[in-house]
A and B are shown apart, each in its own frame.
Chain A
């Protein structure tokens, strides 16, 4: 099957015509596959998708996100996940199945303004996306530096199979938690390493569309290590 190089596309631009499947950010118009967004086209095994270069975060199942508690009701917390939909974290997820709205106080576990790492369990857009914080590496964030980048640049920051972020982590000894919604938490015991990691991430955000970014970031990380 063809594996065409990435191409720059804008909304309405025909990516390919013929026998292909339309995937993310594309639609069919007759037998043509058209982009609906500004981005880079990607054709793989007959599937056509466009990697966006701009736009907000749309919740997807199984995404890891970083959110901020904004309010709570008797049964659940409302979480701002940097999207047009607020996340919902049910109280039973934190208190367990024997949760009772009479005896348990939600604010005792998570108060307004607390940051959490959560996973999206269910998001069908008819209701607010459902979150969970039970799982490895999930839960309340106690320390670290919070950084925000454009959600469309998250894949670039992670790199192919995590290559980019691993490189930053190895060079700076920092631990970076990346939320798919563009929020990240960096924790590092060494303050120089922390600054270096932040600079590297800012560089990636600024120049996400440039080729050979990995080399550039690597250069930057090494240049300041003396």
Chain B
């Protein structure tokens, strides 16, 4: 952060970014629901060059038993990067960063998932980053909420994730890896579009309060775009074949 020196031009004079996008354009997102047979619910998401596989189990028995709560179900999330997900081999042991991201994703999903209906059980969400290119926490969050819906776990709303940030003194949507490394700020947003509530908000870097407001605004706009793709992924799996069900 803080604008490291680099030879990459983050934003050219025509307002085009290093990967050819406009300032308020997200990367190409594609989601497929129900890709794993053995998990109760699953999703595969490609968010630009990020490739993430999510598997959901549950509700199921809690082990170890002392973690269970008699008033509500619990949500457990594991965000993990495979050794081959980045340029230099990543040690597969959970790092400080992965533990943090697991925690923030869990807290971003909790307001959406209605766990009160399943006391003494756990819902486990496993997110494997197969390929990383900046903004994996938002992509993992987006995929996780599709996988939870696919598992049939009651939810108040889907949670969509998208980051906004600042690079080359300009507010941009959906920060990629280069812009994250060389840019000035990164603001990941998790958002429930129907309830209009923010569930994840982090900020790495420095923004003035006006910049912050703008960043959050376009971040939420990005989430709404991502939500449409989430919706389509679920509709494709469940409602694509055949007609309305009335037989």
Chain A contacts to B: CB under 8 angstroms: 5-8, 10-14, 25, 27, 29, 34, 36-38, 40, 52-56, 58, 84-85, 125-126, 152, 207, 209-215
Contact = CB atoms under 8 A, between A and B. Distances in A.
Given A8-B238, A85-B121, 18 more contacts: A6-B246, A8-B239, A8-B244, A12-B156, A12-B192, A27-B156, A29-B195, A34-B157, A34-B194, A40-B245, A84-B58, A84-B118, A85-B120, A125-B120, A126-B119, A207-B241, A210-B241, A211-B247
B71 to A, nearest CB: 9
A191 B151 CA distance: 35
A88 B118 CA distance: 17
Contacts of B154: 11, 25, 36-37
Contact of B152 (A7, A27, A38): A38
A34 B235 CA distance: 17
B152 A37 contact: yes
A25 to B, nearest CB: 7
B243 A84 contact: no
Nearest to A13: B194
Interface residues of B, number: 40
Interface of B: 40-41, 58-61, 70, 112, 114, 117-121, 149-158, 192-195, 231, 234-235, 238-239, 241-247
A54 B247 contact: no
Contacts of A215: 247
Contact of A152 (B58, B117, B152): B152
Contacts of B234: 10, 38
Contacts of B192: 12
B149 A11 contact: yes
Contacts of B151: 54-55
B144 to A, nearest CB: 13
14 contacts: A6-B246, A8-B239, A8-B244, A11-B155, A12-B155, A38-B152, A38-B238, A53-B238, A54-B150, A55-B152, A126-B119, A210-B241, A211-B246, A212-B247
Contacts of A10: 149, 158, 231, 234-235
Contacts of A27: 114, 156
Contacts of A152: 152
B43 to A, nearest CB: 13
B243 A211 contact: yes
A11 B235 contact: no
Contacts of B246: 5-6, 211
Nearest to B157: A12
A58 B158 CA distance: 22
A14 B194 contact: yes
Given A11-B157, A25-B154, A125-B118, A209 B194 contact: no
A5 B151 CA distance: 25
A84 B121 contact: yes
A208 B158 CA distance: 24
Contacts of B112: 11
Nearest to A29: B195
B194 A12 contact: yes
A207 B118 contact: no
A124 B247 CA distance: 33
